[in-house]
Structure 1
Amino acid sequence: MGRLEEKAAPFLPRIPAQPIGYGEAQVILKYLGGNEVPADWRGILSNVAYRYGGELLNSSSIEVKSFNRLERRDTYNVIGIMKGEIEPDRYIVFGNHRDAWSLGSVDPTSGTAAMLEITRVLGEMAKNGFRPRRTLMFCSWGAEEYGLIGSIEYVEEYVKVFGARIISYLNVDIAVQGNHTVDIKTSPLLFDIIVEASKLVPSAYDPVGKTVYDKWVDFQWNNVTNEPKIAYGLGSGSDFFGFDQLVGSSNIDATYMFDHTYYKSLSSYALYHTSYEVFAMMKNFIDPNFTAHRTMGQLMGVVALFLSETPVLQFNVSRYTIALREAMKNLKPNNPEALDPLRQAINDFGATANDFMRRSKLIDFENPFNIRAYNDQLLQLERAFLNPLGQGGDYTDFKHIVFAPAKGNQYAATGFPSVSDAVATGNSREIDSQVAIATYFVRGALSTLKEFDNFFS
């Protein structure tokens, strides 16, 4: 495979950067002589006036010694496959990266532990005669922390294979960062499968008989829809990115989370990516009995078996209608009528999705060819939302027109990101252009749900 010369790679760093702790930052900030920043730019370090920079007070200087090196290293992906007995050309893929910033007891080793336990259990089942209906793949990725290198390289090399065959990618990067409840981000198509799986798995650190679903009822419940709160869209923060944006499969990322109502200011666990992230941290502060690890292994294992063993995939296409409408509600152009073409396309999508579900009840699922044809329509739906050109410029890998990172936030997923970016500019011509593109792909997606001999009506 061809490679760029290092000097020709525009994304390699040219300016040395050195992470520092809060203690060092507090001292340095006290020496800054620039103007004070606005209130919404200020942090919470004590006895510090937050300033833009400027010259250091008292003609002071700072010496930074960095021992980072730019060098070429080899990294490896480790792939295990349990071949499906009936549909070996349909894949359910588990994945987690193996590299860490330090010892990584949470990120990524909690996920590695959960994935290895799942493979151990499936291995025991295989000894007793179990063979999955569809192929199960287990992927330990290299170099995730350096830019998702291992998974992206693998997906790019085999994107045509995955594009034709994969059903779902299940990501277990940070499997456990708390012991309160399970937090999931997913494709809308998998919502119902996740809910059904959650009803079968015990919740960690709760009374016997209480399930993950029961815990959601208590703490992550949507009183409007009378359902658990499960976020749609995965962003770019882990190895699901290639499967989301280049392959177009329907994917999941899950973690056992701490209580956000108590730790309101924390976006992630306190010692994230530090040298303190060791086994003792996990054992003493996060998951003393490792029951959260067990719950995550059981939950993701049950989801995988639902996907691999159910002859008819339990994807719910009507969930995408809800997701599309929610995503559009968050778009606030100065002229709301600019969204009318997209709004009409989403309404038409909803009608087509309802018709698809009505027709599915009439299918003879005793016929394996009917099952295969129905399942293939479900798989084509998510892929139909991929724009081969992406968002253009430096953002060609952001291909999913409904859920992808926006240019203003390249980490999290945004609904209709290209339209959102256009709205942020206020440029009416750009807004109209991006609405037209989104409308085109929504209509393309709904055509995949129509009858085979009448997809163009």
Structure 2
Amino acid sequence: MVYCAWDGEEPGLIGSTEWVEQHAEELQKKAVVYINSDENGRGYLEAGGSHALEPMMNEVARDVTDPETHISILDRRHSRELVNAADNGRLGKALLQKKGFSLGALGSGSDYSPFLQHLGIPCFNIGFGGESSGGEYHSIYDSYDDFRRFKDPSFQYGVTLARTAGRITLRMADATVLPFDFRAFFHTVSGYANELIGLVDQMRETTALTNQVLKENHYGYAADPTVQLAPPAAKAEVPFLSWSSLQNALTLLEAATTRLSDSLSHSHLTGSRADLVNQALYRAEQQLLSDNGLPRRPWYRHSIYAPGFYTGYGVKTLPGIREAIEQRNWKEAQEQIEVDAAVLRKFAGYLGSIAF
């Protein structure tokens, strides 16, 4: 079962939270992927989604032609990334060596949210943009005439979006073995974990420096004596968190994803055996749901992706850990490290149990 949705559906149709909750059991049993598109205009491919499907998304982007430049939408996106990184030597060099692009992580703001973050169903959110105006979204100016005059006058990118979503749909529907590659997921989550470890180390250094500057009254000496401004308050020192359980879980996950990839590449599955393996593959993301959900937000159960508590639609990755760190709630941060480590251990065990 492959679902597709475009923004603008009325409540009660596919994509509404109520509908998803009402059909949760059937969706978790049968839904392979949910493909969403919200806004579309002229420009470059914008894509986010479940990272185990990132290699497949790159293959699709390689096979769709951009209507303005007549190169693939993959190559055009890559060119834009290189131009934007031209002033950053290290990033630019890395992009030159990179063959494909990375899917963005999904926060919220559209109909994929209940599928992914409540039920653990793999999702895509795709569209084109960057060369058309905005600001009319969900207003009285969000009209056919506005689209025809300003957004995509020739409707070429509407066709390109349909070709992109259509290829994803057909690839998922017709595959003998579904194109999930959990090695891509492992590399993505490992990167998130390293980001958080670096974030805590940076906060520790910054906090120690700020407190020393306060202690030696440098704020007072540097202040304008004619302006009554108080210096910032000293902050509690940043403790050393234990990351070992999360790192060990990631080691298990790396081994499990490598073994699974090797098994899939050497197998010749057909019939009922292929059906069983495919069911295990598309239900795998459900193993990333935590039983209690995020702190103070139990509806959001995905341990890897969630909209930020204070950022609206903006995504937070490894959200339980990340938001606790940002709020300097060190006790909760350590608790969430253990929660996510347990989820990833379970996920690695699940992938390792897929029988061929």
Fold-level similarity (TM above 0.5): yes
Unaligned runs of 5+ in 1: 1-90, 99-140
Of 168, 183, 186, the match for 1:303: 168
Contact in 2 for aligned 1:364/1:370 (Cα 8 Å): no
* Paired AA for residue 150 in structure 2: F
Contact in 2 for aligned 1:155/1:243 (Cα 8 Å): yes
Partner of 1:252: 124
Contact in 1 for aligned 2:64/2:160 (Cα 8 Å): yes
Partner of 2:289: 386
Partner of 1:375: 278
Q: Which moved more, 1:246-255 or 1:374-383?
A: 374-383
Instruction: Give the deviation of 1:336 after TM superposition.
Output: 5.5
Of 180, 194, 197, the match for 2:60: 197
Q: Which moved more, 1:384-393 or 1:212-221?
A: 212-221
Task: Name the CA distance, whole Å, in 2 between partners of 1:188 and 1:343.
Answer: 19
Greater fraction helix = 2
* Paired AA for residue 167 in structure 1: V
When normalised by structure 2's length, the TM-score is: 0.79
Q: Which moved more, 1:330-339 or 1:428-437?
A: 330-339
Contact in 2 for aligned 1:408/1:421 (Cα 8 Å): no
Contact in 1 for aligned 2:121/2:286 (Cα 8 Å): yes
* Paired AA for residue 179 in structure 1: R
Instruction: Give the deviation of 1:389 after TM superposition.
Output: 1.8
Q: Which moved more, 1:220-229 or 1:336-345?
A: 220-229
Partner of 1:277: 142
C-alpha distance 420-212 of structure 1, shift in aligned 2 (>3 A): same
Q: Relative contact order: is structure 1 or structure 2 higher (C-alpha 8 Å, sep ≥ 6)? A: 2
Unaligned runs of 5+ in 2: 83-93, 201-237
Name the SS for the 2:314 alignment partner: strand
Partner of 1:218: 79
* Paired AA for residue 94 in structure 1: C
Name the SS for the 1:193 alignment partner: helix
Contact in 2 for aligned 1:237/1:411 (Cα 8 Å): yes
1:36-435 equivalent positions in 2, closer than 5 A: 91-98=1-8, 141-143=9-11, 151-174=16-39, 176=40, 178-207=41-70, 210-220=71-81, 223=95, 226-259=98-131, 269-331=134-196, 332-333=199-200, 334-335=238-239, 337-365=241-269, 367-393=270-296, 395-435=297-337
* Paired AA for residue 250 in structure 1: P
Offset from partner CA, 1:377-415 (integer Å, 9 cap, x none)? 21232110011321143x111110011123222412211
Q: Cα RMSD over matched residues?
A: 2.3
* Paired AA for residue 317 in structure 2: G
When normalised by structure 1's length, the TM-score is: 0.63
Task: Name the CA distance, whole Å, in 1 between partners of 2:190 and 2:48.
Answer: 18
Segments ≥4 residues shifted beyond 6 Å:
none
Task: Name the CA distance, whole Å, in 1 between partners of 2:273 and 2:341.
Answer: 30
C-alpha distance 244-369 of structure 1, shift in aligned 2 (>3 A): same
* Paired AA for residue 104 in structure 2: Y
Name the SS for the 1:220 alignment partner: helix
Instruction: Give the deviation of 1:303 after TM superposition.
Output: 0.6
* Paired AA for residue 435 in structure 1: I
Overall identity of the aligned pairs, in %: 19
Contact in 1 for aligned 2:28/2:283 (Cα 8 Å): no
Offset from partner CA, 1:265-316 (integer Å, 9 cap, x none)? xxx8233333222222211222111001000011100110000011110111
Name the SS for the 2:63 alignment partner: coil
